[in-house]
Amino acid sequence: MRPTGAGELITDTLDVVHDRFSASEGGELASYIPELATADPGLFGIAVASVTGNVYVSGDADVPFTIQSLSKPFVFALALRDLGLEEVLVRVGAEPSGEGFSSIRLEPGTGRPPNPMVNAGAIVTTSLVDAPDEAARFERIRAELGAFAGRELDVDERVYASEAATGDRNRAIAYLMHGAGSLQADVEGTLGTYFRQCSVLVTARDLAVMAATLANGGVNPVTGVEVVEEHVAERVLAVMATCGMYDYAGEWLLRAGLPAKSGVSGGLVCAGVGQFGLGLFSPPLDARGNSVRSVAAAQEISRRFDLHLMHRPDRDVSALYRSTRVDRLRQLAHRTPGQRRRLRDLGSAISVRAVQGSVEFAAAESILRSVDELPSPLPDGECWLILDLSRASRVISLGAQLLGGLVERLQSQRVHVVVVDPFERGLVTGVEHRTTTFEDAQRWCEDQLLATA
Amino acid sequence: MRPTGAGELITDTLDVVHDRFSASEGGELASYIPELATADPGLFGIAVASVTGNVYVSGDADVPFTIQSLSKPFVFALALRDLGLEEVLVRVGAEPSGEGFSSIRLEPGTGRPPNPMVNAGAIVTTSLVDAPDEAARFERIRAELGAFAGRELDVDERVYASEAATGDRNRAIAYLMHGAGSLQADVEGTLGTYFRQCSVLVTARDLAVMAATLANGGVNPVTGVEVVEEHVAERVLAVMATCGMYDYAGEWLLRAGLPAKSGVSGGLVCAGVGQFGLGLFSPPLDARGNSVRSVAAAQEISRRFDLHLMHRPDRDVSALYRSTRVDRLRQLAHRTPGQRRRLRDLGSAISVRAVQGSVEFAAAESILRSVDELPSPLPDGECWLILDLSRASRVISLGAQLLGGLVERLQSQRVHVVVVDPFERGLVTGVEHRTTTFEDAQRWCEDQLLATA
Amino acid sequence: MRPTGAGELITDTLDVVHDRFSASEGGELASYIPELATADPGLFGIAVASVTGNVYVSGDADVPFTIQSLSKPFVFALALRDLGLEEVLVRVGAEPSGEGFSSIRLEPGTGRPPNPMVNAGAIVTTSLVDAPDEAARFERIRAELGAFAGRELDVDERVYASEAATGDRNRAIAYLMHGAGSLQADVEGTLGTYFRQCSVLVTARDLAVMAATLANGGVNPVTGVEVVEEHVAERVLAVMATCGMYDYAGEWLLRAGLPAKSGVSGGLVCAGVGQFGLGLFSPPLDARGNSVRSVAAAQEISRRFDLHLMHRPDRDVSALYRSTRVDRLRQLAHRTPGQRRRLRDLGSAISVRAVQGSVEFAAAESILRSVDELPSPLPDGECWLILDLSRASRVISLGAQLLGGLVERLQSQRVHVVVVDPFERGLVTGVEHRTTTFEDAQRWCEDQLLATA
Amino acid sequence: MRPTGAGELITDTLDVVHDRFSASEGGELASYIPELATADPGLFGIAVASVTGNVYVSGDADVPFTIQSLSKPFVFALALRDLGLEEVLVRVGAEPSGEGFSSIRLEPGTGRPPNPMVNAGAIVTTSLVDAPDEAARFERIRAELGAFAGRELDVDERVYASEAATGDRNRAIAYLMHGAGSLQADVEGTLGTYFRQCSVLVTARDLAVMAATLANGGVNPVTGVEVVEEHVAERVLAVMATCGMYDYAGEWLLRAGLPAKSGVSGGLVCAGVGQFGLGLFSPPLDARGNSVRSVAAAQEISRRFDLHLMHRPDRDVSALYRSTRVDRLRQLAHRTPGQRRRLRDLGSAISVRAVQGSVEFAAAESILRSVDELPSPLPDGECWLILDLSRASRVISLGAQLLGGLVERLQSQRVHVVVVDPFERGLVTGVEHRTTTFEDAQRWCEDQLLATA
């Protein structure tokens, strides 16, 4: 065996982006937590974790820093897991506020903070994590963050002390919400847990894995552990998409097209749904509190890799393709002359639809329309349809639902449906016969046809 | 040929949803434009347009109503086409404001309205459409809306007159922006065009096609006309995702997971990127100005069809699959005994990677890693790699880029790459040899191998 | 007769203040109306008009400039005259808003502008002036402003044109209020009148007389014309006290202690209730839109002359003073020896209370308490009280009311009350006898006493 | 001596007002401090304290309740005393905010609370009271409130505990200000003192005396103690005038015309500058947090007694009056025939100006103008002016200043000024001769005239 270095191609791309932005000098260190102002402004790390479980890094991707606001989506996930969406929404909204991370605007009437990605909302979600006491609550949070990252995480006690000592605005927000009823837990206890949660130490590599876990439907692709259920991961990503970047959320989604969350320590996480997680780290911040280099690098990566959420995937091939070629001569060798004649005369009673690629709405719809009429040379209209899914890479719920409905409808009309699925995935329900090869399907249909009067 | 009615399966699903919500009685008719208060509150239409160009409808999908705010994303598209993103962003932001459709909040300093989906921003985008005069400007807008819908659209002159006569708040917003410098065109002229634009008549069916045009990368799937470039369509969808539903935008994306836009006449458009457009219509509005039935029905359709933007597609099969089976006996029949022996001894110099489904980041990454080491029995390490893309349904930019990089790197290491692509799509650049069947690729590699010393 | 120049003493004081601030260079010319930016920044005029009708000036007190916001209190007065307070308050509030002159904040629910001193409120009050059409409305306003100033006033047509052409924000405000229902008149017509009203030309001398008219209870002290009723003048001053200086109103009242109103052309009016009006003019403005020199000079004048509204007047003398000396010998010469003896024995039945200065609450209260017990040597308790008001400079309503109540109560107790009032002002009601000299009062009481059994 | 009950006339008036409003049933008990919700809604007390030191009461004027926000002006006075105005204004503004008592709006840039009458500002002023520790700070505050009230005041510990336990919003405000830098003291310590300050027990009678102390220039009229300096009292009243009634401040000053402060326990204080203090108490509050009955009763009292700050005092008599009559015959009896002849020929060299009432700006100005020319029969222009102030009740600073300037100017022109002041008040400076009677003045002038060549 000889090495080719093919696996380094992704790392090479990250290095190019890292080089491009590492020299940029804009931004200021966070000052609102004194300890953060001591960070090295030159640090810059990028990491990508694939849903396949591989991680690629460039620069200072293994330098630990406090997680700060990057903890918010993951603790929100925990609260969703504990209480469910509707219960959580009673206490915290899901609307972008058009304001910064430390906004004190609460919803008139309900007193709800606007969303779980600003401090106000994050304090509430922290308080919603189920635990007998604050120590246990924090341990659950630390364990959850660790499960997302795939390793046990520590706390930076100096940053915690600094944050607890100077967190006037967060205290103010918490008391406002307690007064308004949206925060029902003990204020000081909740704040202690919140400040500690913000002081958990992570690296860009950790962030990439954490984001990849969300991108992978809640399953950590490195450890294989299901950290949260798929619907929780989806909801967290949806809220990140509209609220994760504070008052830059809209332009961020416009430019980068990826659900993301930034933190005042200079970190940034982004998720490519079903694909990867991205973790970046560079302390200098812009006026909105987002890391200057991290934002620029993430947008460049999104642009280079064409990852925009609104990018319409190019379908190179149609969902339907010509019927799979079968060695007809060899097949017919097994038939009697009478059978061969009958197959030649009535063979059109056997239709084939071969499907390739993903079967989403549009593909499923093409299939449906392609069988809107079927040849039926037999007097009673009986006929056969081979649905060849051997090249169908995946069938989303809608496709499965529509194909299931199709099969049911056809069977009731004496159309016998046979599915070819070499991977035996059981993609479509209610089917009369299944095979793993097209040859077998064809033979079965022919046998059936010959068996008719 | 016998009809099966398979094509009606989608319509059936729409009917189920229509029935479920048609009886719901909440909401009030819009009152801020007097003429709208005369609408029939019982009207309810649903339409879906596939990117394949088919349209499915249920209920009152062909009843005309004024487009109102639903015109905003499409006129925004026109402004983007005329000026480009950066120039447009100088005049109008892209941030959700956390406020309602008639918010008067402008960005401090710049005076920019928050985004093009609220009235303020829409008035600015209308003014940005390039034209010699207001009449021409409106004709361009009407033509553009018609191109999105696939038919010529008319204006409801009574609603226009009603709106022009009572549009105090819009006048106020326009003068505020003119004073702040974000609206530079003539105020009354711009408002006239804007009110007329809002009075264009559409149906739920039209809306579905318009949304499908955005979902289809800017190409109207019914007429085949490219209305806007793909990157324009993407940007419009991104802004719809964060700002389209006003102060319900965040919760909407959380629940429905689709870029959308609502209008005060009771319409709603949603887009499933690369899949379909959805158009709904039912006049009674909730307190935020969104159509009660349209919102409920769209969320139900999203839920039923599993269309949430953050839903991780289930990959049923891995990107790589076992090497395509070839009739080796038949192939070897053409070889001399010496050649057969050599092929048996050194055959491992020919590697095969067969790819199926979409080749996005994760798939491309799997391929890269699978060739991180290659067998090389030849003394000088020369070897061959067959990249079988015959089952690859599509290759996104990132995949193409990574595979191109892979090929380049391998060629430089004396690895000869052969691509099998039955559809001759030219997916990967810089390849040494291409074939349309795997047999041909294998034969070519074997010929090359035999030709070595 | 020889001139002493005593009358110039007030002018001298104004000159001192003028000199002190004329060299100060801060501030910027108003830019929001282009024509105002052409003003001479060096102009500086001060004028004081006494309620006695004299006017004292220093510097450029006769240079005409457009009245702008200084028109607001006077047009508010006109609206109060036409509609009465309660009706006006339905359309415009009386609360300081904490915001600048062009604030767009309207009261939630009612849509009322916060007060008539900001543009929004002033536009409404202009619309409330009763007239058959806009031309007549403006003529009434021009006539009213002229009546306050004591001369006919002209319009600066260039400023009017400049303002009408660039008044985007005022247009915006007006449309907002029309939409909200607080402005019910035609928007463009009202704005035309409002812009024209703002373009009326005045001088610092005019402003002083206008303010003096308010200070003088609505009567122009120069012309003697009652421009508005006293209660209207009081209400205008009260609103000026809390709202006249926009977002500097509170600190202004704290420092200057005078109801005031500033204008963007550099003018300032202040009123010393019952004393004088002050008019200043100097174009350069501070960040809040108040004239830098005018504000400083007005505060200095208030400080020098100790005019602060909250300044407790030093009462040098008590309200009560020793009984007026009468030439008793000459009076007794008219009496018989028996009468003289009776007067000596029972003379204490005649009590005297001599009042000096103002009879407000505290003075009236002192009088009341001083008669809480009266000597009554007569067996049936009959006695006499001489209330000597010859030195009472004025008796406010409360004093009159309390003294009237006192008289009524005393009369019912056989205490005969005689009032001495050399000016025959009829100050106290229900009195048994009145005289113009103390001697007459004493004689009358003695006659009565002697007439008793 | 027989009692007349004259002193009860004021009490009678209060009783009438009390009766009129005691049956009104609107308003709700304060709920934001639980303990306040237990108050008896039927309680209603009114008290008036005159600057002469008498107190008149009606209803429940001796029922103790917690002072709450009514403490704010008095603690503001203490802060002004400790730090001076400019230093205090660095930390807290003086602008009405247009918002309610618990507004969280801070001044952008400085973080200052808008004014010391809302909770935010009051917390800051509490923190500014100079003391070595919080216990001492509270004792100073309690002592100060007691000095204003004229008796030692206690704390309601239950209300304190209730307030401390539920004061979320005040905690929030305090932390916001601490974060913004406007509150620099320890947050929890300051809040403890603030809550305790709010829990001091007072009665309506106390409030009347406290307000009368402000009205009386800082001197408690009952105890005679100078609690604060006069300029401090003036400033407190000025801030009460614009900010004391929260978002009702403007309309309050318009309607009641008195500086005032309300509190959530149902109390209200008003001050009539130089006249009286008014204290009211009735627990049910309107939506703005002002006591329903207290507000109505105070407005009625202001209306009945004509106490509006903007009310122009009716001047019944002019400032100048005819020269005091003197018994000329008796005077001339002392002169020789030659002297009599000379006095007859040149007597016009002696001018007289007799002044009555207050000598404010307008009166002083009348005097000045009346001596703008003087008769001067003597060849060298020498002449005499008798300024008879025997009926001048008071001379405000401006009057004294102008008269002083007048005297100086006249003396330099050989006009000898003699002041008649029976009370020997030394009102005017620089005078050549002073007498206590007009006769003496006349004789002195005649002696001087006769002494000339």
Q: What is the per-residue pLDDT across D123-164, written as a single tens digit (0 to 9) for each?
A: 999 999 999 999 999 999 999 999 999 999 999 999 999 988
Candidates C335, C263, C255, C327; CA nearest to C296 is: C255
Residue type (1 letter), B43:
L
Report CA-CA distances (Å) from A194 to A158, A199, A312, C427: 15, 9, 40, 74
At residue C298, what are phi and psi to the nearest 5 degrees? -65, -40
Per CB-CB distance under 8 Å, the chain D contacts of C420 are none
| Contact status of C359 with chain D (Cβ, < 8 Å) | no
Give the CB-side neighbour count of residue C344, counting CA atoms within 13 A: 9
Please spell the DSSP secondary structure of C145-182, one letter per residue.
HHHHHTS---B-HHHHHHHHHH-HHHHHHHHHHHHHTS
- The answer, yes or no, to whether residue A319 has pLDDT greater than 70, is no
Length of chain A: 453
Per CB-CB distance under 8 Å, the chain A contacts of B366 are 52
Q: Give the strand pairing for D415-420 and D383-395.
A: parallel
CA atoms of C219 and C228, how far apart (whole Å): 7
Contact C178 B168 (CB under 8 A): yes
CA atoms of B261 and B245, how far apart (whole Å): 6
Q: What does the DSSP 8-state code read for residue A206?
A: H
Contact D314 C376 (CB under 8 A): no
Strand (E) or helix (H) holding D452: none
Lowest mean pLDDT segment, chosen from A221-230, A253-262, B40-49, D394-403:
D394-403
Mean pLDDT, range D386-390, rounded to an integer: 85
CA angle B301-B304-B306, nearest 5°?
A: 100
Strand (E) or helix (H) holding D159: helix D157-166
CA atoms of D122 and C358, how far apart (whole Å): 37
| Residue A284: CB atoms within 10 Å | 21
Per-residue pLDDT tens over the stretch B416-433: 999 888 777 777 777 888
Per CB-CB distance under 8 Å, the chain A contacts of B253 are 238, 241-242
CA atoms of D186 and D188, how far apart (whole Å): 6
The b/e string for B117-151 (b: 16+ C-beta within 10 A; e otherwise) is: bbbbbbbbbbbbbeeeebeebbebbbebbbbbbbe
Strand (E) or helix (H) holding D433: strand D433-435
Contact B175 C187 (CB under 8 A): no
pLDDT value at position C197?
97
Lowest mean pLDDT segment, chosen from B418-432, D5-19, D287-301:
B418-432
Strand (E) or helix (H) holding C348: none
CB B276 within 8 A of CB B215: yes
Per CB-CB distance under 8 Å, the chain D contacts of C261 are none
Contact A95 B251 (CB under 8 A): yes
Alpha helices in B150-257 (DSSP H): 157-166, 168-180, 187-198, 204-215, 230-243, 249-255
Mean pLDDT, range C203-207, rounded to an integer: 98
Closest partner CB to B169 (pick from C168, C169, C175): C175
Q: Find all residues with CB under 8 Å of D244, minimum gap 6, and list them.
A: D73, D117, D252, D259, D260, D261, D262
Closest partner CB to B310 (pick from A238, A357, A402): A238
CB D248 within 8 A of CB D288: yes
Partners for A (CB, 8 Å, 3+ pairs)?
Answer: B, D
| Contact status of D358 with chain C (Cβ, < 8 Å) | yes
- The answer, yes or no, to whether residue D99 has pLDDT greater than 70, is yes
Candidates D300, D289, D260; CA nearest to D277 is: D260
Tokens representing residue A448 in the block:
């059936």
- The answer, yes or no, to whether residue B316 has pLDDT greater than 50, is no
Q: What does the DSSP 8-state code read for residue C325?
A: P
pLDDT value at position D316?
47
| Contact status of C165 with chain B (Cβ, < 8 Å) | no
Mean pLDDT, range B27-55, rounded to an integer: 89
Per CB-CB distance under 8 Å, the chain D contacts of C89 are 251
Average pLDDT, chain C: 89
| Predicted-complex ipTM score | 0.89
Average pLDDT, chain D: 89
Tokens representing residue C33 in the block:
């109306």
CA atoms of C219 and B284, how far apart (whole Å): 59
Q: How confident is the model at residue A51 (pLDDT cuts 50, 70, 90)?
A: confident
- The answer, yes or no, to whether residue D447 has pLDDT greater than 70, is yes
Mean pLDDT, range D195-216, rounded to an integer: 97
Per CB-CB distance under 8 Å, the chain B contacts of A9 are 368, 402, 405-406, 409
| Contact status of D233 with chain C (Cβ, < 8 Å) | yes
Partners for D (CB, 8 Å, 3+ pairs)?
Answer: A, C
pTM: 0.87
Best mutation target, B118, B310, B365, to test chain A (most A CBs within 10 A): B310
| Residue D304: CB atoms within 10 Å | 14
Tokens representing residue C406 in the block:
């006192």
Contact D54 C241 (CB under 8 A): no
Mean pLDDT, range A29-49, rounded to an integer: 89
CA atoms of C361 and D272, how far apart (whole Å): 9
Per CB-CB distance under 8 Å, the chain A contacts of B290 are none
Per CB-CB distance under 8 Å, the chain D contacts of C409 are 4-6, 9
Residue type (1 letter), B218:
G
Report CA-CA distances (Å) from D60 to D22, D44, D284: 11, 5, 14
CB B440 within 8 A of CB B418: no
Closest partner CB to B2 (pick from A115, A368, A374): A374
| Contact status of C178 with chain B (Cβ, < 8 Å) | yes
Per CB-CB distance under 8 Å, the chain D contacts of A105 are none
Q: How confident is the model at residue C325 (pLDDT cuts 50, 70, 90)?
A: low
**CB-defined contacts B:C, below 8 A:** 38
Three-class DSSP category at A94 = coil
Contact D176 A187 (CB under 8 A): no
- The answer, yes or no, to whether residue A164 has pLDDT greater than 70, is yes
| Contact status of D381 with chain C (Cβ, < 8 Å) | yes
Q: What does the DSSP 8-state code read for residue D325?
A: P
pLDDT value at position A381?
84
- The answer, yes or no, to whether residue A370 has pLDDT greater than 70, is yes
CA atoms of A185 and A128, how far apart (whole Å): 8
| Contact status of D165 with chain A (Cβ, < 8 Å) | no
Tokens representing residue B284 in the block:
């009674």
CA angle B305-B308-B309, nearest 5°?
A: 135
> Which chain D residues in 77-96 lie under 8 Å from chain C, judged by CB atoms?
85, 89, 93-96
At residue D49, what are phi and psi to the nearest 5 degrees? -115, 125
Contact C241 D310 (CB under 8 A): yes
Report CA-CA distances (Å) from A173 to B429, C388, D222: 56, 67, 46
At residue A97, what are phi and psi to the nearest 5 degrees? -100, -10
Tell me how close the Cα of C57 comes to any Cα of chain D, in angstroms: 14
| Contact status of D173 with chain A (Cβ, < 8 Å) | yes
CB C18 within 8 A of CB C58: yes
Q: Find all residues with CB under 8 Å of B170, minimum gap 6, and list them.
A: B102, B119, B123, B191, B194, B195
CB A390 within 8 A of CB A434: no
The b/e string for B57-88 (b: 16+ C-beta within 10 A; e otherwise) is: bbbbbebebbbbbbbbbbbbbbbbbebeeeeb
Lowest mean pLDDT segment, chosen from A217-231, C334-348, D346-360:
D346-360
| Contact status of C100 with chain B (Cβ, < 8 Å) | no
Contact D175 A171 (CB under 8 A): yes
CB B118 within 8 A of CB B102: yes
Tell me how close the Cα of D55 comes to any Cα of chain A, in angstroms: 41
Q: Find all residues with CB under 8 Å of D37, minimum gap 6, and list them.
A: D29, D30, D31
Per CB-CB distance under 8 Å, the chain D contacts of C311 are 234, 273, 396
| Contact status of A245 with chain B (Cβ, < 8 Å) | no
Sign of CA pseudo-dihedral B222, B224, B226, B231: positive
Mean pLDDT, range D394-418, rounded to an integer: 80
Partners for C (CB, 8 Å, 3+ pairs)?
Answer: B, D
CA atoms of A116 and C125, how far apart (whole Å): 46
Tell me how close the Cα of C166 comes to any Cα of chain B, in angstroms: 8
Per CB-CB distance under 8 Å, the chain B contacts of A310 are 233-235, 237-238, 241, 259, 273
CB A360 within 8 A of CB A396: yes
| Contact status of B46 with chain C (Cβ, < 8 Å) | no
Per CB-CB distance under 8 Å, the chain C contacts of B179 are 168-169, 172
> Which chain A residues in 307-326 lie under 8 Å from chain B, judged by CB atoms?
307-317
CB A191 within 8 A of CB D172: no
The b/e string for A41-55 (b: 16+ C-beta within 10 A; e otherwise) is: bebbbbbbbbbbebb
CA atoms of B421 and B411, how far apart (whole Å): 19
Contact A241 B239 (CB under 8 A): no
CB B280 within 8 A of CB B291: yes
pLDDT value at position D132?
96
Dihedral angle computed from the Cα positions of residues B184, B188, B189 and B195, in that order, rounded to the nearest 10 degrees: 110
CB D290 within 8 A of CB D330: no
Per-residue pLDDT tens over the stretch B328-386: 777 888 889 999 998 888 888 998 888 776 777 777 788 888 888 888 888 888 899 99
